Structure 1
Amino acid sequence: MSGEPGDTMRERADESSRVLWLLLNADRWLVTALLSAILFCSIVVVGLLVSEPGFRAGDPIETLYQALITSTVTGVTLVLTLSQLVLSQELGSAGDQRERMRGALSFRRDVADAVDTAVSPAEPSAFLRALVGATRDRAEAIDGALTDLEPDARNRVTSYLDAVIENADGVIEQLDGATFGEFDVVRAALNYNYSWKLYEGRSIRETDDIDLPEAAVAELESLLDLLELFGSAREHFKTLYFQWELSNLSRTLLYTAVPALAVAVSSLLFLDPSAIDGATAGVPHALVLVAATTTVSLVPFTILLAYVLRIVTVTKRTLSIGPFILRETDRSGDISERT
Structure 2
Amino acid sequence: MSKSAAPSDTMAERSAGSTWKQRVLLEADRRAVAAGLMAAVFLGVVAASAATPTPFRSVMRSTDVIHTLFQGLTTALITGVTLVVSINSLVLSQELGAVDDQRERLDGALEFRESVADTIDEPVSPADPGSFIAALVGACADRATAFRDALDQSTTDVDDADDADESDAGDESDAGDESDAGDADADDLFEDVDDFVTELTTHADRVRADLTDAQFGTYAVIGAALNFNYSWKVFQARRIGTVHADAIPDAARDAHADLLDALEQFGLAREHFKTLYFQWELIALSRAMLYAAVPALIVTISMLLFFNTAVVEGSILGVDVLVLAVAAATTVAVTPFLLLVSFLLRIATMARRTLAIGPFVLRRANRTTVPDGDE
TM range (shorter): over 0.9
Quickly say closer, same or farther: Cα 1:74–1:160, change in 2 above 3 A: same
**2:92 maps to what in 1?**
87
**1:215 matched to 2:251:** yes
**1:53 maps to what in 2?**
55
**2:198 maps to what in 1?**
162
Aligned residue runs from structure 1 range 120-199, under 5 A: 120-147=125-152, 148=155, 150-199=186-235
Q: What is the total number of aligned residue pairs between the two structures?
A: 339
Aligned residue runs from structure 1 range 1-339, under 5 A: 1-2=1-2, 3-55=5-57, 56-57=60-61, 58-147=63-152, 148=155, 150-208=186-244, 211-273=247-309, 276-329=312-365, 334-336=370-372
Quickly say closer, same or farther: Cα 1:88–1:150, change in 2 above 3 A: same
Instruction: Give me the TM-score of the superposition, normalised by structure 1.
Output: 0.95
Unaligned runs of 5+ in 2: 156-184
Q: Which letter maps to 1:306?
A: S
- Alpha-carbon contact 1:44-1:291 (below 8 Å) kept: yes
Quickly say closer, same or farther: Cα 1:330–1:61, change in 2 above 3 A: closer
CA distance in 1, matches of 2:339, 2:224: 24
**2:164 maps to what in 1?**
none
- Alpha-carbon contact 1:153-1:210 (below 8 Å) kept: no
CA distance in 2, matches of 1:152, 1:323: 23
CA distance in 1, matches of 2:328, 2:374: 63
CA distance in 2, matches of 1:265, 1:331: 55
Instruction: Give me the TM-score of the superposition, normalised by structure 2.
Output: 0.86
Deviations 1:106-161 (A, max 9, x none): 11111111111111111111111110000111111122222336322221111111
Question: Deviation of residue 175 (structure 1)?
Answer: 1.0
Q: Which letter maps to 1:35?
A: L
Q: Which letter maps to 1:10?
A: A
Question: Deviation of residue 11 (structure 1)?
Answer: 2.4
Unaligned runs of 5+ in 1: none
CA distance in 1, matches of 2:53, 2:313: 18
Q: Which letter maps to 2:55?
A: P
User: Quick one: percent identity of the two aligned structures?
Assistant: 47
1:273 alignment partner, SS class: coil
Q: Which letter maps to 2:305?
A: L
Deviations 1:9-59 (A, max 9, x none): 132112222211210111111101100000000000010111111231453
Question: Deviation of residue 237 (structure 1)?
Answer: 0.3
Deviating more after overlay: 36-45 vs 136-145: 136-145
CA distance in 2, matches of 1:253, 1:170: 36
- Alpha-carbon contact 1:4-1:329 (below 8 Å) kept: no
CA distance in 1, matches of 2:6, 2:360: 13
CA distance in 2, matches of 1:333, 1:319: 19
Deviations 1:221-266 (A, max 9, x none): 1110011111111010001011111111111111110100000000
Question: Deviation of residue 76 (structure 1)?
Answer: 2.2
Q: Which letter maps to 1:97?
A: Q
Question: Deviation of residue 208 (structure 1)?
Answer: 4.0
2:95 alignment partner, SS class: coil
- Alpha-carbon contact 1:125-1:179 (below 8 Å) kept: yes
- Alpha-carbon contact 1:171-1:189 (below 8 Å) kept: yes
The higher radius of gyration belongs to: 2
RMSD across aligned positions (CA):
1.7
Quickly say closer, same or farther: Cα 1:273–1:111, change in 2 above 3 A: same
Deviations 1:170-204 (A, max 9, x none): 11111111111111111000110100110110111
Q: Which letter maps to 1:11?
A: E
